[in-house]
Amino acid sequence: MAIIDSNCCLEKGRARRLLSEMDRCGVEKAVIGPSKNHLAVENKSGNSYIGEAIRKHPDRLIGFAVASPWYGMKAVRELERAHGLGLSGLKLNPGVQGVVLTDPQIHPLIDFAERAKWPVYCSTGTPVFSMPFQLAELAEKYPRVDFIMGHGGFSDFWYDVPDTLRRCPNIVLETSYVLPTQLNRWIEDCGIERFVFGSDHPFSSLELELRKIGLLKESIDRKLILGRNILRILGRSR
């Protein structure tokens, strides 16, 4: 069974470290995006090193691009450049990028994602910037775009998650940080197809996040959550 990590953050110069961690944990592929300053402001440099990593390891790494919504049309041009480098999705982190998820400033980026058939990963759980229902507003505005709800609203927005998934068939939940007993309940309520494994490496531990999936109820189909669901979304988009 091929394990795919739907959410890793790659710091500049750390691709080898990530690959050895993936090898140690038996992870075949990982979706990577720029981290920290490269996520917030130095997007061009961030997208470039992600492009380089996927060029060197095309069978292991899948690259998502970032662009601060505050750059306006410059951000869209940067996403076009990243597209040319082979990146194949958009990552948003409203808390780090300093933009509220309902701010129309984000729309040109989502318009681009829709044109490019890119999925959009968005970290959630950080008030006031990125809560599940804020993502639901965006997902309802863009019903043809696939959204990945990063961290499932962790820490405090667990009440809002099931309604978000029910409202928006174009949202799947990425599992980093979410507690296993919580995941068990949501999977039962919303269906296993709506969940993708992610570690948020290096901020969480890939090893512990995988062990968590192992602790889920035995009846849960690991193949779907650990790989097939994200492949379905990536395949639809590219």
Is residue 180 within the footprint of another protein (CB under 8 A)?
A: yes
Residue whose entry in the numeric block shows the structure tokens 């979304």? 233
Give me the least distance between CB of 167 and another protein, in Å please: 21
Task: Compose the 189-218 pattern: x for residues touching another protein by CB under 8 A, - for all others.
Answer: -----------x-xxxx-xx--xx--x---
d(CA 10, CA 45): 12
Q: For another protein, how many residues bind (rule: CB under 8 A)?
A: 22
91: contact with another protein by CB under 8 A? no
The 3-class SS string of 124-185 reads CCECCCECHHHHHHHHHHCCCCCEEEEHHHCCCCHHHHHHHHHHCCCEEEECCCCCHHHHHH
Q: Which stretch binds another protein (CB under 8 A): 31-39, 43-51, 79-87, 148-156?
A: 148-156
Residue 125: which region, alpha, beta or left (left: phi > 0; alpha: psi -120 to 50)?
Answer: left
Residue from the set 177, 186, 195, 197 that interacts with another protein by CB under 8 A: 177
- When asked if residue 179 is in the footprint of another protein (CB under 8 A), the reply is yes
For residues 149 and 125, give the distance between their C-alpha atoms in angstroms, rounded to a whole number: 9
Q: Give the Cα separation of 31 and 6 in Å (integer).
A: 5
Kindly state whether residue 152 participates in binding another protein, applying the rule CB under 8 A: no
Q: Give dist(CA 97, CA 41) in Å, integer.
A: 8
* Cβ atoms < 10 Å from Cβ of 224: 20
Residue with smaller CB distance to another protein, 58 or 127: 127
Residue 85 touching another protein (CB under 8 A): no
Q: Binders of another protein among 37-56, rule CB under 8 A? A: none
Distance separating alpha carbons of residues 196 and 209, to the nearest angstrom: 12
Regarding 35 and contact with another protein (CB under 8 A), the answer is no
Choose between 118 and 177: whose C-beta lies nearer to another protein: 177
Site for another protein, rule CB under 8 A: 95, 125-127, 151, 154-156, 177, 179-181, 200, 202-205, 207-208, 211-212, 215
